[in-house]
Amino acid sequence: MRKQILVQFGDELIAALDQRAVQLGTSRSALIRQAVETFLSQAVEAEIDRRIQDAYRARPPEEIWGDLPARAMVAAEPW
């Protein structure tokens, strides 16, 4: 269900918005709706990224291709 809301913009922002809507072949309302949806989804994605980074900092993955395993593999080679 959609609900109509009142949002106030300055003249310059409205002009830029209208110009962009024409370029994209869409309406002002659709462009604003898309912009808000994109803004909100980016906030959710940023929060997910932050949580993943926090988890890796709290418990780093075991390094399977780091310096020590690489040295062990080289040492095991029958040169």
pLDDT tens readout for residues 19-74: 999 999 999 999 999 999 999 999 999 999 999 999 988 887 776 666 777 788 88
Q: Which residue has the higher pLDDT, 78 or 37?
A: 37
Q: What is the pLDDT of residue 70?
A: 76
Instruction: Find the mean pLDDT for residues 1-23.
Output: 96
* pTM as predicted: 0.61
Tokens 């909100």 — which residue?
40
Supply the DSSP symbol for 75.
Answer: H
Question: Taking 90 as the threshold, does the pLDDT of residue 79 lie above it?
Answer: no
